Amino acid sequence: MKHLRSLVGKELESYFGSPMALIFLGVFLVFTLYTFFWVEAFFAGGLAELRGLFRWMPVLLIFLISALTMRQWSEEQRSGTLETLLTLPVGSLTLVVAKFASVMIMVALALALTLPLPITVANLGNIDWGPVAAGYLATLLLSAAYVGLGLFASSRTDNQIVALIITVVVGGLLYFAGSTTATEFVPPAMADFLRAIGTDSRFQSIQRGVLDLRDLVYYLTLTGVFLTLNVLSVQSIRWSRGHDRVRQREILLSSLLIANLVLSNIWLHPLRFLRVDVTEQQEYSLSETTKTLLDGLVEPLKITGFFSAKTHPQLAPVVSGIADMLAEYDIAGGANVEVQVLDPTTDPDLELDATQTYGINPIPFQIEERYESAVRNSYFHVLIRYADQHIVLQVADLVKVTNDRDGTTNVQLDTLEYTLTRAIKQVVYGFQSVEAVLDSLGEPVTLSFLVTPGQLNEQANTDMELIIATGEELAASSGYFEFEVVNPDAEGARFPREMLINSWGLEPYPPSMVSPSDYYFHLVLDLAGELHLIFPRGGISRSSIRTVIDETIQRTQPGFLRTVGLWLPPNIPTQSILGQQLDPLASWNTVQSSLSSEFEVEVVDLESGPVGDHIDVLFLIAPQYMSEFSLFAIDQFLMRGGSLIVAASNFGIAPHPLSGDLSLTGTPLNLNEMLAHHGIVVEPLLVLDLQNTPFPVNIPRQVDNLTVSEYQALDYPFFVDIRSDAMEGNHPAVSGLPAITLNYASPITIDPELNAERDAVTLLYSSEDSWVTDVPDIRPNFEAYPNFGFDVAPEDVRKRHPLAVTVQGRFDSFFKDRPNPWLEEGAESPEDTEGLLTEFNVIESSPLDTRLAVIGSAEFLDDFILNLMRILVQDQVTNNLLFVQNLVDWSQEDVELLSIRARGNTIRLLKPLTQQEQIRFEVLNYVVALLALIVIAGIWRWRSTNQIPLDADPGERML
């Protein structure tokens, strides 16, 4: 070991004794900082990650390490000192390891000088340290392989330039082997082989945050093979012509070592589970939610991946990622899960079965071949089967396509575990019949008919007899079902009136034509201690009662696909000042599509009657122009225990009547009175915030005689940028979301007295640098306000404002003391208002766990605004849509998959920075790098100057 330290010290002395070391470190830092801040445009991207640092490492290290290693053995041979080294009392292995260690120390020192970058990113955002550590590990492993290659090349020639060229060429071939450029034009089997031996493909696997034993062994194999060849090359100089047996033995041992290293990779290749996920949210590992679901399977679950060998070149690399994830399901599910990855094009019977039975057809992809464009039809599907249920996932479900700033298209897996687990839940719970659900509960379901029969009219008595007869039939036909009739006013009743009101929050119907006094006429389903108030649709009949009971039982299952009733404002065109009709700017296709990808979505008409019982969540976007009929439908949906989400706004975007530019107009938010009744007020104000998402402004620029239009980012205080520190972090609706943008938002006030007995939570706030205005002038005026474009409120006026709230508890009806708008004028008997009992009675209070969410903006879901934000910050659009999906899941208490969705879609954003702050942080990194180089040079200079040579013991003298 003492000899090894001395040799390593000698090599480092040779580096720092000349400008070589500082040139290497300087070039490395210049290239790294340039690519990070300029090529990758770190601040423009706005993401708190270091992908831009590691993306170029595989290419950069080829050239820099080639320059470091080219002289290691070549110079020894050229100057004649190699023979002197070989006479030292050390073996060839020690000599090789010493040179290898000295170069690796230089590489490690260079990487250490880049540590200010992750520290800077950590100060500017919520960085995930797992991929950062994995990236540095991958860089060291890749460097070790390149160093081994460079040393071997240097040992084979006394010409440094030749050694450099050999290292660059072989290193470049290993790099390009696994790239899309190489795999695009070769058969699939060859493409898989090239990806397996490519240094870049292995590097990217580790750098994303997954330490796969196969990747680690691959790099150690490359390093071991080249170092073994290096030792053999150096040792060959010691051989004399008369020692053939020694030569043969050493060649044989080296060959056996290399063969074992290669065979270890072949043996490990199918073992996909030997890996560790070091990402903070375990993004590439199965969650406990998925494992619990797989453990509870009672029937075999079959997952089949259909992938053509010849597919789109950009889809080919992600197939292996899908196969790896499916293997995780196979391992976690054990005997309950069967996974296959097949190519239908190789088996006509399989292809016919996939097409005819499951409707799986090849997808046409346009590709660029060597000499022309072509269309390639290939399979890219995942089929999930459970008993008689199945779901087919296609390209749009499995991958996400994004574009870099330079126009490069990237294809990557899109929350794969969430997509697969959600599909599995759908087929598993879709297969379960009502009887199977009842059996899983372990105890009978009780249907209680709460009725006070004393003074009901003739029609109500008829309906009561029908309900009792139907309930008794259901109880007689199933051992899992019980039925009871309860009169809350009877002495000794199981559910007395006081208990219903105080404990359940179940108020009687008020006096009406049905009964001269208040009365109960309620159906309550008790499912394992959870009470569900049910309302038969379309009048009372045997079929409607049975249907609503079955749907209620199935809806309690976590895999049941929820139905969202979506109300959208009418598209009302406006007129310009010249009388020309202007089409409305607002549309809501993006949010509708986003919700449809997770739930059943039905656009509802509130004017025609009550909200259907099959609707689980009512989502109102920009509610306006609502009649009393619509308000009554909303109110009674909430009173029945339905969940209500309101994206409310007092302002809406519209074309300016004079210029046609974007402008804001006041909207008649007549839902405000109802919300105020529940203690929530959406103020008629606009929030402006210095912490904001930029607005893309199209600015023409003159280039010679040509006008070029380009987008520039403008600080825009009406686009409020809400970060995690301004969210209620423990709430499932915002858990895992790094940022949300609310556009043209209004502040929300919660009445503490009206919500004293409810659980009211403020989800989102603006920053401390926000203020409000009642003037909807959203166009910047740089003539009046040259610095910012808007009048910024004084600092003592600025404060944070609530922008989104959730309330859970019992609500009183808005129509409790108001006339029922559905009562027909002049009706004097039940015959005049047929169906009034079940359709239009006023429910005066809701269940105790009713949920209401209000967001002070509707424009944050508007297609026009979302498309504007996509120009600069695609990630904010994704976060807005995730927030809405999370709110729906929260409203239904179906939060099992929220953590998977959040961790798969978490986008870590930088804190908002001004251009001056960005420049300051960038320059700071340049200064730190320069000072580090100066310090290293100074320390080494001081050490060299003040070092006192000592006489070594003659027996240990080496040099």
Residue 52: the pLDDT is 87
Lowest mean pLDDT among 45-54, 99-108, 903-912: 903-912
Q: With helix as H, strand as E and coil as C, how does 381-432 read?
A: EEEEEECCEEEEECHHHHEEEEECCCCCEEEEECCHHHHHHHHHHHHHHHHC
CB count, 10 Å around CB of 348?
9
The residue written with tokens 């499932």 in the block is 732
Name residue 956's amino acid.
Answer: E
- Reading phi first (left if > 0) and then psi (alpha if -120 to 50, else beta), residue 442 is in left
| pLDDT score of 894 more than 80 | no
CB 791 within 8 A of CB 785: yes
**Alpha-carbon dihedral angle through residues 546, 548, 550, 551, given to the nearest 10 degrees:** 160
DSSP symbol at 586: -
Longest dimension (CA), the chain: 124
* Contacts (Cβ under 8 Å, ≥6 apart) of 792: 690, 717, 771, 785
CA dihedral for 463, 469, 474, 479, sign (positive or negative): positive
β-pair type (662-666, 651-655): antiparallel
Residue 752: the pLDDT is 93
> Could you write out the DSSP letters of every residue in 747-796?
-EEE-TTTTTTSEEEEEEE--TTEEEES----S--TTT-TTTSS-PPPTT
The pTM is what? 0.71
Lowest mean pLDDT among 42-46, 184-188, 396-400, 543-547: 184-188
Convert the pLDDT of each residue in 573-600 to its tens digit. 666 555 566 666 788 999 999 998 888 8
Q: What is the mean pLDDT of the chain?
A: 83
- Across the range 50-62, mean pLDDT stands at 91
Rg of the chain, C-alpha, whole Å:
35
Residue 612: the pLDDT is 84
Residue 583: the pLDDT is 64
CA-closest candidate to residue 607, choices 583, 574, 624, 629: 629
Rounded Cα distance between 534 and 285, Å, is 41
- Which run of H or E residues covers position 210? strand 210-212
Residue 260: the pLDDT is 93
Angle between helices 116-124 and 915-946 (to 10 degrees): 150
Rounded Cα distance between 326 and 318, Å, is 12
Lowest mean pLDDT among 197-211, 444-458, 543-557: 543-557
Rounded Cα distance between 499 and 544, Å, is 28
Domains and CATH numbers, the chain: 2-278+915-946 (no CATH), 288-431 (3.40.30.10), 435-555 (3.40.30.10), 563-808+850-905 (3.40.50)
> Tokens representing 653?
């975007």
CB 840 within 8 A of CB 823: yes
CB 171 within 8 A of CB 86: no
Residue 784 half-sphere exposure toward CB, CA atoms < 13 A: 6
CB 604 within 8 A of CB 566: yes
CA-closest candidate to residue 99, choices 58, 255, 107, 936: 107
> Tokens representing 776?
């909807």
Rounded Cα distance between 278 and 779, Å, is 46
Rounded Cα distance between 313 and 368, Å, is 9
- Across the range 922-945, mean pLDDT stands at 87
Rounded Cα distance between 605 and 588, Å, is 16
Residue 412: the pLDDT is 75
Residue 916: the pLDDT is 86
- Across the range 675-685, mean pLDDT stands at 94
| pLDDT score of 830 more than 50 | no
Give the rounded percent of residues in the chain with a pLDDT score beyond 90.
35
Name residue 899's amino acid.
Answer: S
> Tokens representing 308?
């053509």
Q: With helix as H, strand as E and coil as C, how does 165-204 read?
A: HHHHHHHHHHHHHCCHHHHCCCCHHHHHHHHHHCHHHHHH
- Across the range 912-923, mean pLDDT stands at 87
Residue 829: the pLDDT is 36
- Across the range 751-765, mean pLDDT stands at 94
β-pair type (337-342, 301-307): parallel
CB 933 within 8 A of CB 29: yes
CA dihedral for 439, 442, 443, 445, sign (positive or negative): negative
**Alpha-carbon dihedral angle through residues 739, 744, 745, 746, given to the nearest 10 degrees:** 160
- Across the range 287-304, mean pLDDT stands at 88
Rounded Cα distance between 767 and 174, Å, is 50
Rounded Cα distance between 336 and 424, Å, is 13
CB 219 within 8 A of CB 213: no
Residue 948: the pLDDT is 55
Rounded Cα distance between 451 and 403, Å, is 62
**Alpha-carbon dihedral angle through residues 353, 358, 362, 365, given to the nearest 10 degrees:** -160
Burial class (CB within 10 angstroms; exposed 0-12, middle 13-18, buried 19+) of 114: buried
- Across the range 702-713, mean pLDDT stands at 67
**Alpha-carbon dihedral angle through residues 49, 53, 54, 56, given to the nearest 10 degrees:** 140
| pLDDT score of 839 more than 50 | no
Q: Per-residue confidence at 399, pLDDT binned at 50, 70, 90?
A: confident
Lowest mean pLDDT among 103-107, 164-168, 893-897: 893-897
DSSP symbol at 38: I
- Across the range 830-857, mean pLDDT stands at 71
Instruction: Provide the β-strand partners of residue 386.
Output: 301, 389
